[in-house]
Chain A
Amino acid sequence: MLDLAYDASLGADWVSRYGIRLAANSEDKTLRLVHVLDGLLTTDILNNKINAIEKECNSNKIKLQTEILPMRKNVVSTLQTFFSRNSSEFILCGTRMLNSARGYLFGTVSERLLENRALRVLAIRVFQPGNSGLVSDMLMPVSERFTDQSNGLFFLEKFSPQLKSLHLLHISKINTLWFRYLSQNRAEKLKLAAHEYLKEVQRVIENHLSLQATHCDSRALLSDDTAKEIIIQSNKLKSDIVLLGTSTRSLPYRFFYGNLLEQILRQSACDIALYNKGH
């Protein structure tokens, strides 16, 4: 069973389609919809929306459980209390749909859930509602810390039954000041090391998952702008989704380099799935 943190927005409806598809890959084929009554919606609208999701679940042979929670302190604490007491495989939620000055993730319930290392969370930004949660082509940027215990592998497994192609991407970040002076030999060495690392990641993935029907490829790049490179590669490969791990960056880092996640969320032309690295 997986949980869907549902706020009854249009974006949440679209995220629910991911929920239905991912629930189809769970053992009990159950989706638990969790909504906190924050007073922003009338009961009729909420019920209509939940009914629509239930019908979609039924037509896809998914069992829907609904939990409507009265709000306690705030939405986040209500949800966190509920999730800590009622475990599930993972929690699915959506990012902000509105590109406000604050960004897509900053200050959202999803950001707080992602920060909670005790929970396994997947936050999705839906850019292509027409795909209705179907992921055929995935781009997965991997950092130097990818292990068989990582949540990346866990979520990759959840998506794997629908995947037709998986592209692993490793970007070696080079300081902007040095990037243009990087010698060819040095660049080759860095790329070689990155390729070796990607081979290792691919081996880990193949040991844990059955991806026989999936076309797997990997590419190693050197760049002084990680976010931009991820966006370009997702466009080049026509990816349906980018599966990306989140990590907490310090304030000085954000000041000098900006928030990579927000940059990707703001500029990408495909769906983005963010998972937390804790748990």
Chain B
Amino acid sequence: MPDEIEVPHDQPLTQIHRASIDAAVRLLASSREGLNNNEALRRISEFGRNSIEVKQRFRALKSLFKQFRNFFTILLNASAVICFVADRVQPGESMNILGWALLGVSGLNAIFSFIQEFRAEKAMAALKKFLPALVKVRRDSIEAEVEAEFLVPGDIILISEGDKIPADARVLNCNDLLVSNAPLTGESKPISLTAEPSEQSLTDSHNVALAGCSVLRGSGEALVYATGLRTEFGKIAQLSQGIQRTASPLEKETGKMVRILTYIAVTMGVLFFLYGVFNGRPLWVNLVFMMGIIVANVPEGLLPTFTLSLAMGSLRMAKKNVLVKSLNAVEAMGAVHVICTDKTGTLTLNQLTITRIASGRSEDEVEVREERNHILKHALTASDLKQTAAGFVGDPLDIAIGKKISQDPSSSLAHWSEGIRKHFPFDVYQRSAAGIHAADGQTCFSVKGAWESIRPKLAAIDGRPNVPLDAALADADKVVKQLASQGLRVIAVAHCTIEQFDPARKRDEYATGLTLAGFLGIEDPLRPEVPPAVQKCHDAGLGIILITGDHPDTALAIARKAGIVSHSADNVVVTGDQLKELRQQQLMDRLEEGVSIFARTTPEQKMKIVSALQALGKVTAMTGDGVNDAPALKTADVGIAMGKEGTDVARESAQIILLDDNFASIVAGIEEGRTIFNNIKKFTNYVLVSNGPEILPYIMYILFPIPLALTVIQILSIDLGTDIIPSMALGQEPPEPDTMKRKPRERTEGLLTFRLMAHSYLFLGLLEAIWSMSLFFYVLVSHGWHYGNVMSSTDGVYRSATGIALSTILLMQIGNLLGRRYRKGTGLNLGIFRNKLMFLGIIIQVVFSWAVLYFPPLQVVLQTGPVDLHVYLLAWLGVPLIFGFDLLRKQFLSQKV
């Protein structure tokens, strides 16, 4: 029973990784025999199951409810209710049909958004794959397999090669235990675990096994100290699930636009309703009127068109190797101010290449073949390389060494690997890997790794027998510095002769009195398409921030080669240690000063950088590939995961997946995103123009004793009918030539600006309204109508008049459509047929403008009637009229600029 444990209390209170084994066991009130089953059950009820899933009650319901909270949906639903009331008050006016139509539009919008948002949480499924289902545990001195979910703090688990670690645990004893912490730290090098107390931080200490990681070799037993969401892995899971992506710029813009349009619609509707009431009009007439003015003001088709436009944009992006998971990310890419990018694989090819073999004397390439081979053979001894039919298999550095050797098939090194007896994998604390080679009666120990870790163990340097060691080391230091300043990752290679290979001896026992063979200069070549892409970013006013775990000199060198910073740039690098000490405000200051490289950083620090950039008001895109990148990918405005090298967890957490892991594809995606925003602006402008001729008849109807020129059904036929295809066509327009020459738009720059609204409502909208109303009155007057005459809605003349008003609006929308294509010129020279959807849209407008007047079934539905041909031809005059006036405006503005 844990209650009866009696262990010596000889240590001050300390954390579990710093404590001795006995103290650690005592901290968890456990024993080496394990908990008993009753205690384990009790702890399950106290701490819950070892599960990383965050249960959210009523998630689907909440999500669905949220869709009905936006202004647009509330407005449509409220309007529908008014329609049903109006139908009850005055039946026979088909107001109930309108009510159902409005409910339908609102329901479709809400369901569409709900489906978008409530996708199955795939990131969680991907995370779960890292945890085992069963685990071997010791309870009451009996070892048995239990479901990993039932582990509790204080349990003793037994782990061995191939196991996944189920919970965070303190190692109690181990036998050559080697684990991969890659899912958590992103560090691909395996780590040897020990049971000794550690002075490092909890997660960095080498006596803890972390949940989600895997055992590569050896075996051991460990004391569980954290389960479920309390594990480091659980925290990542919770962050990944808990962080709600901030609304994309487009979501905010559309929210704002809907709010403004709703205010306008409701205010106008209510004001004129009251006006009608005070003027003694019947209540139902006022209700119908209010409905009309609200329906006329709300562009019902705009939000579905947004979605369609984004969907088509995502297809175009996919052709550029940018796979979009969330539609809002399509436009968010265009709003990006800063790209935070990885180095390896994104800017570089992720193909390590040895571009320099240097001695300890000089940074120059070693020319003597024997000396080169001498360095390479010791590097090969310290490598774990396998040759298959497909090529070399192993660590990228080891592969680079293998490739370098294979470039010279006649070399004496071809069969060297046959003599390798033992490999010591890379040790993250010693920052080196080693091996033992035995052949022809000679056995040698070779080591390769960071210069700082090998230097203290050196007793000599090859080729410098007569130089004092201190002086030779100082020269070697200079060589290392020179190579690093050239952007090369420097690997030192050393060796010593040993008497005999003894498999029982530990690595440290060999690694003394080493002789430096030389250095390997490693480079991961820059992707050739990166410098032009970076230049494009600079032209487009985009900031690029390089975040890497590499040495600052290496990071700076690659940033210079890529053009991220100029060759004279100074004070642009911040290391992970410096970053740790910076307050958010200080980091924001450094970012504003131009810091654009973060070196020796951990993946966790990405979130700090993103938060600081967002606090500066920057829309940030962040790349990532590891499990521990998932929270940062969700925090960023646009999370970009790597399709080739990334983990499933990163891919599921991101909005965008780069299929080729290439930086240039991000830039292509941004260009597409900007184009989409421009196009959205164009079709918003287009759609709002028709609001003018839809609103004016209602205002005139309430103010003057004249018939209503446009019915609610006719308005809906424009907003939800003929305007949709032309809007989609504008959403497909290609990028304008200066798209990537303009600075990114500010977060505060709205989609619905005053200028756009004035242009839509007060200029083009008014033109359409005047011309359509003129023809409406022309038909009425030519058939004997006098000012003040009341007309029945079934009157043939009235039907012909409303028909021509509708037809004129439809035709004038063609002129409006052509004028929206290009901000400056006519755009006619670029051809209508190049955009097939636009051509189709125009055909629909033309056919519909004819059909509303002359096609009987449509006449019945829309309550319209025919007009004389010359009147219809007059309606066609509206096309050049609106196009011409708008062209004059463009020319006037361009002259002014």
Contacts and interface: CB of A to CB of B under 8 A. Distances in A.
Interface of A: 10-11, 13, 17, 20-21, 45, 48-49, 52, 55-56, 58-60, 97-99, 127-134, 177, 180-181, 183-185, 188, 191, 215-219, 228, 231-232, 235-236, 238, 267, 269
A134 B252 contact: no
Interface of B: 2-4, 9-17, 19, 26-29, 43, 45-48, 54, 69-71, 153, 168, 170, 202, 225-226, 229-230, 234-235, 238-239, 242-243, 247, 251-252, 255-256, 259, 580-581, 583-584, 604, 607, 611, 615, 617, 631, 635, 747-748
Contacts of A59: 9-13
A238 B666 CA distance: 31
A227 to B, nearest CB: 11
Task: Count chain B CB atoms within 10 A of each CB in A10, A185, A228 and give the residue with the most.
Answer: A10
B247 A180 contact: yes
**Shortest 9 CB-CB contacts between residues of A and residues of B:** A130-B16, A55-B9, A130-B225, A217-B583, A97-B46, A184-B748, A235-B239, A269-B229, A235-B235
A13 B238 contact: no
B225 A183 contact: no
A228 to B, nearest CB: 6
B771 to A, nearest CB: 36
B226 A184 contact: no
A134 to B, nearest CB: 5
A84 B392 CA distance: 76
Contacts of A183: 256
A59 B243 CA distance: 43
B256 A132 contact: no
Given A55-B9, A134-B14, A181-B256, A219 B584 contact: yes
Given A130-B226, A131-B16, 13 more contacts: A17-B13, A52-B26, A56-B9, A130-B170, A130-B225, A132-B14, A180-B70, A180-B251, A181-B255, A181-B259, A184-B617, A219-B615, A232-B239
20 contacts: A10-B43, A21-B13, A60-B12, A97-B47, A128-B225, A130-B28, A130-B168, A132-B13, A134-B15, A180-B70, A180-B252, A183-B256, A188-B617, A219-B611, A232-B239, A236-B607, A267-B54, A267-B242, A269-B234, A269-B238
B28 A129 contact: yes
Contacts of A129: 27-28, 153, 225
A99 B46 CA distance: 7
Contacts of B581: 215
Nearest to A45: B3
Contacts of A228: 242
B46 A218 contact: no
A55 to B, nearest CB: 4
B9 A130 contact: no
A128 B9 contact: no
A177 B54 CA distance: 25
B14 A128 contact: no
Contacts of B2: 10
Nearest to A234: B235
Contacts of A17: 13
Given A130-B15, A238-B604, A267 B238 contact: yes
Nearest to A127: B230
Contacts of A55: 9
A217 B584 contact: yes
B797 to A, nearest CB: 46
Contacts of B202: 130-131
Contacts of B19: 132
A17 B26 CA distance: 12
Contacts of B230: 127-128, 269
A55 B22 CA distance: 14
A60 B16 contact: no
B185 to A, nearest CB: 13
A255 to B, nearest CB: 15
Nearest to B581: A215
Contacts of B238: 231, 235, 267, 269
A130 B27 contact: yes
Nearest to A96: B46
Given A13-B29, A132-B13, A132-B16, A184 B747 contact: yes
A272 B54 CA distance: 19
Contacts of B229: 267, 269
Contacts of B13: 17, 20-21, 56, 59-60, 132-134
A128 B631 contact: no
Nearest to B14: A132
A99 B611 CA distance: 33
Given A130-B202, A217-B584, A49 B12 contact: no
Contact of A184 (B243, B252, B583, B607): B252
Contact of B235 (A177, A218, A238): A238
B768 to A, nearest CB: 31
A231 B242 contact: yes
Nearest to A134: B15
Contacts of A191: 615
Contacts of A133: 13
Contact of A177 (B69, B239, B607): B69
Nearest to A55: B9
A181 to B, nearest CB: 5
A232 B239 CA distance: 6
B259 A232 contact: no
Contacts of A56: 9, 13
Nearest to A185: B748
B27 A98 contact: no
B135 to A, nearest CB: 18
Contacts of B54: 267
Given A129-B225, A130-B15, A232 B243 contact: yes
B428 to A, nearest CB: 20
Given A184-B748, A218-B584, A58 B9 contact: yes
A264 to B, nearest CB: 12
Contacts of B12: 59-60
Contacts of A97: 46-47
Contact of B242 (A180, A219, A235, A238): A235
Given A56-B9, A184-B748, A231-B238, A98 B14 contact: no
Nearest to A10: B29
A219 B47 CA distance: 31
Contacts of A217: 583-584
A123 to B, nearest CB: 17
A127 B46 CA distance: 11
Contacts of B43: 10
A232 B242 contact: yes
B602 to A, nearest CB: 11
Contacts of B584: 217-219
Given A131-B15, A184-B747, A219-B611, A10 B46 contact: yes
A74 B853 CA distance: 88
A49 B5 CA distance: 10
A235 B9 CA distance: 33
Contacts of A188: 617
B182 to A, nearest CB: 19
B59 to A, nearest CB: 13
Task: Count chain A CB atoms within 10 A of each CB in B9, B168, B226, B238 and give the residue with the most.
Answer: B9
A131 B16 CA distance: 6
B229 to A, nearest CB: 5
